[in-house]
Chains A and B, each alone.
Chain A
Amino acid sequence: MAMIEVDKLNLSFGEGDDANQVLHDVCIAVSEGEAFGLVGESGSGKTTVLRCLAGQYNHWSGRLAIDGENLGRKLEKARCRKVQMVFQDPYGSLHPRHTVETALTEPLAIHGIGDASRRIDAILTKVGLPTSFRYRYPHQLSGGQRQRVAIARALILEPRILLLDEPTSALDVSVQAEILNLLADLRQREGLTYLLVTHDLGVVAHLCDRVAVMQHGRIVDLIESANLVGCVPEHPYTRMLVEASRHYDRHMADSVAPEAA
């Protein structure tokens, strides 16, 4: 059974004539334990799908289901324990005046889970941070360390689904690899389901099993990520994304330019 089901998801911002529809009939099904990638250029609506699933937007239409249960408009606590999100920018996703300990205690306190101290130690170890980091403020941590704290914060509620919004794009290359390895590790050990949004095909190829390609709020292609590496994708937009990620090609740029204009 699918862990995440997105069926005919539509979302628009604004009302009446100003309405701007950003998602058009998006359908995704992610099975349990799978890592599913959503790629596309900026503004294609991939993060918006994630935010609908996380519960940040609630005026969507269509059907969203997690673990077989349809999602309501309101963000319930039970859903928060199943689905957690890791944000793109680790410099903006941690409260600047909260220590690591406070940041990790908060979700436990919200859900009334006891034994906080032991859980925090355990989760810090799990994400590869020394437990002595507990009393540090975010400004005393590097970007990669912050992202680890953000991952720890998402995982401390023991969710089954992790929504990853470009978790590595704000980090430098060497740290990106560390975080990707950590995410791959965690998925294997915890049996997590990932929905990963990115514009970096390398990240997708490394982490994901299947990829959906989005353009202008629609899913235009769905492929095995293994096919990103060797084969030439059939859909022209996917082919262009893959080409673009490999090298710069004058011929391709020329072929795209008239469409853009």
Chain B
Amino acid sequence: MTTTTSPAAFDSTPQSSAQALRQNLLRNLRKLLRNPLSVAGLVVILLLLLLAAFAPLVATHNPLLQDLGNTLKAPSAANWFGTDEYGRDIFSRLVYGSRITLYIISLVTVIVGPVGLTIGVVSGYFGGWVDTVFMRITDIFVSFPGLVLALAFVAALGPGLDHAVIAIALTAWPPIARLARAETLSLRKADFIVAVQLQGASPLRILVRHVAPMCLSSVVVRLTMNMAGIILTAAGLGFLGLGAQPPIPEWGAMISAGRRYMLECWWLVAMPGAAIMMVSLAFNLFGDGMRDVLDPRSE
């Protein structure tokens, strides 16, 4: 009775759900790799990951070892990026610092992503007083500048890397929640959500299996873009002495320590500064590419 035409321009018909998923991923990956800027971002991020993973092999010196006879040396063959006021090798400190940067980024993202997504999706889907309560809480958090709020929290909790992570996470979730809420609002009345409601699905099932996956892509994009901000906030806290404590080689703290010698010894500030700039730029570029790939509106 029927003739079925196979749509052209698509890969061969997948034979299993695993294959269907793989085809989808490959298609997205191809789209991502077509954008040279996002590839550049991806390369820098991968480099950062490798650097962090193999820090002991890459570093030329012990990052914590002081050599007071060799302080404030300009970049040379022995110390590629020079030495700081205690004679510690700046290159090695940067290499180990990448671990701290990644630690902060990943921890904040792991906290912020699920929390923001959950709050946003729940408040967008149920609406009414649930929405009002969640959104007013979000408004309160948004009404302070992020760094100031983080400063207040760290001041209350006491300085330290973990406290900095908590403080940054507290300031980073509201934009995610708002994004997820907006996305959910646009989905709530969509036919495919109504259809699954009419099949008798519980709200939890609808949220987890039908609404959240649709919000996930824009949340992932936003998180990637946020990572740049997280790096800067962490560096800012480090610079103010409220983040990582000495002698931990955190990039912001390194800039802060080098500030006093900045005019004579530019490398103390320029090297960690360049590292922060490169990494946050890389996350921004990669985030842009991710948005082109994942944003449903750009398909």
Would A56 and B197 count as touching, CB distance under 8 A? Answer: yes
Would B4 and A145 count as touching, CB distance under 8 A? Answer: yes
Q: How far is the CA of A87 from the CA of B198 in the complex (A)?
A: 11
Interface status of B65 (Cβ within 8 A of chain A)? no
Contact of A185 among B1, B5, B15 (CB under 8 A): B1
Determine the interface band of chain A, counting residues with CB < 8 A from chain B.
35 or more
Interface status of A96 (Cβ within 8 A of chain B)? yes
Interface string of B210-247 (1 = CB under 8 A from A): 10011000000000000000000000000000000000
Interface status of A106 (Cβ within 8 A of chain B)? yes
Residues of B close to A84: CB separation below 8 A:
198-199
Would A80 and B4 count as touching, CB distance under 8 A? Answer: no
Determine the interface band of chain B, counting residues with CB < 8 A from chain A.
20 to 34
Would A56 and B200 count as touching, CB distance under 8 A? Answer: no
Interface status of B10 (Cβ within 8 A of chain A)? yes
Would A142 and B198 count as touching, CB distance under 8 A? Answer: no
Contact of B15 among A79, A135, A137, A153 (CB under 8 A): A135
Interface string of B1-31 (1 = CB under 8 A from A): 1101101001001111101100010000000
> Contacts A56-B198, A80-B198: A94 and B1 contacting too (C-beta < 8 A)?
no
Would A136 and B198 count as touching, CB distance under 8 A? Answer: no
Interface status of A75 (Cβ within 8 A of chain B)? yes
Interface residues of A in 84-104 (CB under 8 A from B): 84-85, 87-89, 92-97, 99, 101-102
Residues of B close to A102: CB separation below 8 A:
17
Would A110 and B205 count as touching, CB distance under 8 A? Answer: yes
Stretch of B44-52, B128-136, B186-194, B267-275 contacting A (4+ beta carbons < 8 Å): B186-194
Interface status of A255 (Cβ within 8 A of chain B)? no
Q: Give the Cβ gap from A157 to chain B, nearest Cβ, in Å.
A: 7
Query: Which residues of chain A have a CB within 8 Å of any CB of chain B?
Result: 54-56, 75-77, 79-81, 84-85, 87-89, 92-97, 99, 101-102, 106-107, 110-111, 128-130, 132-133, 135-137, 139-142, 145, 150, 153, 157, 178, 181-182, 185
Which 8 residue pairs are nearest across A and B when measured between Cβ atoms?
Answer: A80-B200, A128-B2, A93-B191, A135-B20, A135-B14, A77-B200, A92-B191, A107-B199
8 A–B pairs (Cβ distance < 8 Å), ordered by A:
A55-B198, A80-B199, A96-B214, A97-B214, A99-B20, A106-B201, A135-B19, A140-B10
